[in-house]
């Protein structure tokens, strides 16, 4: 297998492989191993190539359908398309529904939506994994609360929510934590983290209470040291933002980035800022996010979202 763009008139970043098949042999193709070479001919190792036909439950989007919620209060929109790495760029969380392949995010499915988003994003897309498929996971993730909360943390500080498209429900801090200029329009996320937010259809009865005194939507979330470090870095960024006057009262991370980085003549957000303190703070946040992402990666394979 080699990068596609080593061939004339091919610009895509995906693998091309050459294999010899013995067509006299009839056998089910589950996977093969392919030798990998870079564009200079250097040997990089071996990669498993799967047919995915034996994954009966299907892909990650089939798993996500179990958690669709069309009745709950919408706090965001997940844009999700096809299930391979080449389409990961299309996986975003926004405030507005302006594209196809969108799924509402509510209190009922926020946990699963965050897992979906995180496992699609924590591993960088490369030419070699470009066609690798994200799959329907096993059930081990359901008991791993730390993994779930790590994914929520990653998602909170990686989305594209914008306050201009409606109430921002994704502020991960209380007003007093960040010296906000006024009360936020929504404390949904901090209430969710504290266990105060319950799905619209969550109605525990006496039997549930006796069996599970603190039900899953009532207990405050507990975060790992890596996730806590992300919150700490984010808190400093929000606090610095509120030292300025010309600001949005209910800022998302996207709003903060736009404020400090600005936009170019074509309307695109600049990649850098002239504000040195902001550059330092956003850099620290991204460093902590990368550490958290690396913590999540092994679980992506362990729980079957990807095959190695």
Contact criterion met (CB below 8 Å) for 85 and 129: yes
Q: Is the pTM of this model over 0.85?
A: yes
Rounded to 10°, the helix 253-261/225-241 angle is: 50
Cα(65)–Cα(286) distance, rounded to whole angstroms?
31
Determine what percent of the chain falls in helix, strand and coil, rounding each to the nearest 5: 40, 10, 50
φ, ψ for residue 113 (rounded to 5)? -65, -40
pLDDT digits (tens, 9 = 90+) for 224-256: 999 999 999 999 999 999 999 878 889 999 999
Per-domain residue ranges for the chain?
2-50, 56-301
Instruction: Indicate if the pLDDT at residue 204 is higher than 60.
Output: no
Q: Which of 197, 218, 222 is nearest to 208 (CA)?
A: 218
Q: Is-contact 163 252, C-beta < 8 A?
A: yes
Q: Mean of the pLDDT values across residues 133-159?
A: 96
- Judged against a pLDDT cut of 90, whether residue 138 lies above it is answered with yes
The beta strands (E) that lie in the chain are given as 2-3, 15-16, 31-37, 43-50, 76-79, 92-94, 102-105
Q: Which residues are 103's β-sheet partners?
A: 78
């Amino acid at each position: 297998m080699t990068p596609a763009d080593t061939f004339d008139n091919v610009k895509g970043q995906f693998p091309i492989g050459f294999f010899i098949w013995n067509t006299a042999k009839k056998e089910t193709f589950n996977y093969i191993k392919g030798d990998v070479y870079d564009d200079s001919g250097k040997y990089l190792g071996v990669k498993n190539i799967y047919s995915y036909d034996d994954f009966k439950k299907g892909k990650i989007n089939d798993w996500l359908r179990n958690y669709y919620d069309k009745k709950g209060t919408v706090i965001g929109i997940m844009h999700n398309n096809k299930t391979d790495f080449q389409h990961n760029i299309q996986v975003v969380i926004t405030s507005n529904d302006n594209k196809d392949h969108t799924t509402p995010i509510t209190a009922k499915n926020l946990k699963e939506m965050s897992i979906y988003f995180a496992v699609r994003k924590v591993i960088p897309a490369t030419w070699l994994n470009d066609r690798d498929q994200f799959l329907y996971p096993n059930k081990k993730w359901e008991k791993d609360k730390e993994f779930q909360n790590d994914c929520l943390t990653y998602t909170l500080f990686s989305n594209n929510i914008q306050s201009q498209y409606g109430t921002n429900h994704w502020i991960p801090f209380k007003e007093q934590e960040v010296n906000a200029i006024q009360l936020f329009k929504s404390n949904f996320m901090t209430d969710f983290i504290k266990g105060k937010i319950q799905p619209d259809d969550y109605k525990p009865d006496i039997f549930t209470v006796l069996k599970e005194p603190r039900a899953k939507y009532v207990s405050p979330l507990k975060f790992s040291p890596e996730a806590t470090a992300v919150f700490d870095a984010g808190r400093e960024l929000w606090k610095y933002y509120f030292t300025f006057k010309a600001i949005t009262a209910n800022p998302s991370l996207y709003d903060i980035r736009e404020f400090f980085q600005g936009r170019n003549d074509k309307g695109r957000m600049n990649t850098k800022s002239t504000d040195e303190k902001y550059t330092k703070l956003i850099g620290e946040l991204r460093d902590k996010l990368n550490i958290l992402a690396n913590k999540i990666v092994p679980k992506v394979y362990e729980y079957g979202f990807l095959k190695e």
